[in-house]
Structure 1
Amino acid sequence: MNNFSFKNNPLNSLFYEIKSLINQQDGNKLSTILSLEKFSLTNEIRNVLLNGNSNWENSLGKILDTPWDDVVHYHFLSLQSLLSGRNYLTAFGDQCSMIQSLVKVLTQSKEENWMLPVVYVAAIELRKLAICADSMASTNTNAKAVKPDANIEEAASQLMSLFRACANDSRTSIEVSKRKGMMNIINQLFKIYFKINKLNLYKPLVRALENANIDEHFTLAERVTYSYFTGMKSLYDSDYRKADRLLSFAFEQCQRKMDKNRRIILIFLIPVKMLYSGCMPTKTILQQYDLLQFDSLCAAIREGNLYEFDQAIETNSEFFYNYGIYFTLEKLKILVYRNIFKKVAKIVQTHQIALQYFVDAINYYQSNRNRIELADDDKITLEEIHCLLANLIADNKLKGYISLQHQKLVISKQNPFPKLSPDV
């Protein structure tokens, strides 16, 4: 005979508490109970789940109405899988079913959005479980037969169902509309798309959010996260003006105590600031956020030292690669050339400068001030100088023109090296 009956099952009191919270429309407290990470289980409940007894499943349907009974059912099945041996694959499958049940909750609930905190917690934990499930799948003996990132891609598909359920609630007053959940879910999808490098899926989400035109109804935390991801995407698209605006907002509005998050934002904001406006971070801020990997790079740019620039990139290449900014930082070499040209212009003190001076100056700094003998292939040529100057002039980093007949650069007598951005 089973030791657990409907009356003395310790989970019943919890189910009645869940029912009460649903009736009270208390999404915050309910989200804590239905969290795999946040809810503190009693020993009695833990023992019931570890026992593998299914009586709690039978009593659940008698206490909660559909589809909430399915939401709670799959949540505790997922929890059961984790308690019984960290079976992330099974737990992830149950969490997917929980998400599908939450989609039914969203579509069946009219003119109310109190359940959104439950959706947020479920979405975050789905993504985390997917990562753990993919890691577990990759260590199995038949790992070769498993598609990499299969579970995280499935998580993205499930989250899209949540997103559509929220986005489609367009006829409801914004105060009680589920559209308020759009940005939170988008942020979870961004985390997945950046992880699996599927940024082509990014645009439809941004377009849907822009069309909704309800930015002021999202929390500051949601907007900071959203600005961080859209700022990174703008950086990868070489839209430095937009990246500067978005990442600056994310950094300035991120709470001061969130040092880890502010540091991550800075890793992308620093190269953007240098590329867009030529602004270099101070030694103080680099020390404060443990980002001294940028220090020697900034020093090389200021000095116009090509050798030191290459060394700074190479020395910290692993760090720059890990954060996906290595090739972005390589673009900063144009600023090194620009600073060399500025030095030459200052020395010759004329607005007509022989191009050979630039050849000599670049080879001087490329050889670490003549300390290293350059191979002929490593020395810059006059033709390459033409290209560098043409690019600087085209990008408005230099005012002047090249006189091919006289092999000279004719620079403007007024402000030949303008500020790198109109905002500075």
Structure 2
Amino acid sequence: MITLAQYADILLHAINVKEGEILKDLFALEFFQDGNRQNTDGKANVTEEALKSVPDVRAQRLQSDLLKCDGFLGPPWLEIATNHFIVATRLSFLRTFSDVNCVSALSPHKMVDRLGCTVQQLIKETWTAMNTLIIAFLRLYSSLQQGRWCSPTLVMVLSNYRRLSVLADEIEQKASTISTGKSGKQTQTHLEECARQLNKAFSACISDRSSEEAFSRKWATYEIVGLVFRGYFKLRSLGLCRNILRAIGAADLPDFERFPRAQRVTFKYYVGVLAFLNEDYSKAEVDLDYAFKQCHKDAHHNQEMILRYLVPCRLLRGIVSNDSFLSTFPKLSTLYGGFIKAIKTGDVRSYDTILETPVMERGLVQIGTYLAIERAREICLRGLLKRVYLSKDCNSRIPLMDFHHALRFVGVELELLETEWLVASQIAKGYLRGYISHSHMTAVLSSQNPFPKLNTITTVTLS
């Protein structure tokens, strides 16, 4: 067990020798550590050890105990350390509820015995202290020359800040629902403030021009960007992501491949998803493919998140995942397996049935892939038409009645004129090469490559 005074002396030593790993350990909060990552190196959490010597959790008393150190702990580190322990002590009272997810499920008005306040009051006080800590830390970090050593600590406290902001908003929303008796529009005031501070952190990193490259704050840019994007996605403020990308494009950063692989994967994932949601599927596929290939082979959850958008991108080019690969991701198999099977067989009716299922429609809309999957129906229809073409020994003149019968065979009931419109639509979009002879009710296909490769068809990505 160590006292707060001893903690302060260790902090002063880390600052004086610019030892980033020690500093990071000093500000680690066990409450925000994933269960499978806690103490993996066998080290005890320094903050948790120091808390054992804290009989009085009032802010003034915490600051007084920190000042008993042998060295001089002045501003802004005194303010930062004091607020860190305010956060730590308040979170310790919630430890009995195990983790963040459990806390968000509690009644906001549930009393926390030791402090004599509710969960809602406790979270609000915790967030306020964390916000004060972040503001002071960013002010200090922005003024540092050769500030790279401090970047890991900044990233960690910002990550904790973001998670606490999400939790505070969830608790506040639940309290509002209980008090009013109805669920209103979700407010995310804490996360919005968090996003502003994350943006300041990004600016502090990318604008560092006073340090040599090896010691520059720029090396934290992509890790901070990952947190910024995560906040913006949660806020559904995707337009703000473009400002970040423009700033990165104009900045003089080290070569992208020199950054850690995890940061590159996270960045490419978010850039790929942004392109996907903007219906730029070609760019999305490039970025998401990079992220998937660079993703660690054991990061199964991350691979699944990437494939959630990469699979639809590939479907739009007629590339279908094989069953053995997709079976390693059960959620994706449930989500896309039926569509893939329908595309392989040209079963348009089956494709439509799955797409119209309320649960499936809701799931695709929720993750933002509904529009892409709806467009991929054209690929399924194209496959059916190609089967008819092959069954006619690749004859370039095919009666529309043959396409009509094929559609009826798979359960799509249309008038002959509607079939003509479908084939004409496929030609107009570039999926087929040829023309319609309306007087003869015949599709006259090109003798050279009537079914062009899908990656050559620009209309696939048009809105």
Same fold (TM over 0.5): yes
- For 1:370, the equivalent position in structure 2 comes to none
Secondary structure of the residue that 1:54 maps to in structure 2? helix
* Kept in 1: contact 2:401–2:416 (CA 8 A): no
Residue in structure 2 matching 1:64, options 58, 64, 73:
73
SS of the equivalent of 1:410 reads: strand
Matches of 1:254 and 1:9, distance apart in 2: 40
* Structure-2 change in CA distance of 1:245 and 1:54 (3 Å): same
Do structure 1's residue 334 and structure 2's residue 378 form an aligned pair?
A: yes
Q: Residue 412 of structure 1 aligns to which amino acid in structure 2?
A: S
**Distance in 1, Cα, partners of 2:453 & 2:78:** 63
- Residue in structure 2 matched with residue 5 of structure 1 by the alignment: none
Match among 210, 216, 219 for residue 249 of structure 2: 210
Q: Which residue identity does 2:123 align to in structure 1?
A: Y
The 3-state SS of whatever aligns with 2:410 is helix
Which one of 10, 27, 37 corresponds to residue 34 of structure 1? Answer: 27
Inter-partner Cα distance in structure 2 for 1:391 and 1:174: 55
Q: 1:254 to 1:119 in 2, by over 3 A?
A: same
Tell me by how many angstroms 1:324 deviates: 2.6
Residue equivalent to 1:15? 8
Provide the rounded CA distance (Å) in 1 between the counterparts of 2:15 and 2:142.
Answer: 16
Aligned counterparts, 1:214-225, within 5 A: 214=254, 215-225=256-266
Query: What is the CA–CA distance in structure 2 between the aligned matches of 1:198 and 1:230, rounded to whole Å?
Result: 14
Q: Give the corresponding residue for 2:431.
A: 397
1:391 and 1:208 mapped to 2: Cα distance?
Answer: 41
Match of 2:149 in 1: 114
The 8 Å contact of residues 89 and 136 in structure 1, kept in 2 or not, is answered as no
- 2:343 is equivalent to residue 301 of structure 1: yes
Q: Deviations over 1:32-80 (max 9, x none)?
A: 2202235354466245166437333034357323222222222211112
Which of 165, 173, 179 is matched with 2:204 structurally? Answer: 165
Which blocks of at least 5 consecutive residues in structure 2 are unaligned?
34-44, 95-118, 458-463
Q: Closer, same or farther in 2 for the Cα pair 1:159/1:45, shift >3 Å? A: same
Q: Distance in 2 between matches of 1:50 and 1:262?
A: 46
Report how many residues are paired. 404
- Residue 93 of structure 2 aligns with which residue? 84
* TM-score of the superposed pair, with normalisation by structure 2: 0.80
2: distance between equivalents of 1:112 and 1:383? 67
* Contact 1:49 1:80 (C-alpha < 8 Å) held by counterparts: no
Change (3 A) 1:363 1:198: farther
Counterpart amino acid of 2:5? N
Q: Is the 8 A contact 1:67 1:105 kept in 2?
A: yes
Cα pair 1:180 1:217 within 8 Å, conserved: no
Tell me the CA shift for residue 169 of structure 1.
Answer: 1.1
Query: What does residue range 215-294 of structure 1 map to in structure 2 within 5 Å?
Result: 215-275=256-316, 277-290=317-330, 291-293=332-334, 294=336
C-alpha deviation, 1:318, in angstroms: 4.7
* RMSD of aligned Cα (Å): 2.6
- Per the TM alignment, residue 323 of structure 1 is displaced from its structure 2 partner at its CA by 2.6
Q: Once the 2 structures are TM-superposed, how far is the Cα of residue 115 of structure 1 from its aligned partner?
A: 0.4
| CA shift in 2, pair 1:394/1:50, >3 Å | farther
CA contact (8 A) 1:342 1:417 kept: yes
- Do the aligned partners of 2:3 and 2:50 also contact (CA within 8 Å) in 1? yes
Cα distance in 2 for residues equivalent to 1:389 and 1:300: 19
Q: 2:190 aligns with which of 132, 139, 151?
A: 151
Which residue type is aligned with residue 281 of structure 2? Y
Change (3 A) 1:240 1:177: same
Distance in 1 separating the partners of 2:57 and 2:192: 33
C-alpha separation in 1, matches of 2:424 and 2:211: 56
Q: Which runs of 5+ in 1 are unaligned?
A: 1-7, 368-373
Q: Cα offset for 1:9?
A: 8.5
Q: Distance in 2 between matches of 1:385 and 1:29?
A: 72
8 A contact 1:163–1:185 mirrored in 2:
yes
Please tell me whether the aligned partners of residues 166 and 178 of structure 1 are also in contact (alpha carbons under 8 angstroms): yes
1:380–1:280: structure 2 CA closer, same or farther, 3 Å change rule? farther
Counterpart amino acid of residue 298 in structure 1: I
Q: Aligned partners of 1:106 and 1:393: how far apart in 2?
A: 59
Q: Distance in 2 between matches of 1:81 and 1:31?
A: 20
Aligned to 1:371: none
Task: Output the CA distance in 1 between the equivalents of 2:213 and 2:440.
Answer: 68
Q: Equivalents in 1 of 2:269, 2:56: separation in Å?
A: 41
Distance 1:317 1:49 in 2: 55
Distance 2:221 2:128 in 1: 24
Report the residue type matching 1:163 in the other structure.
F
Residue in structure 2 matching 1:127, options 146, 162, 174? 162
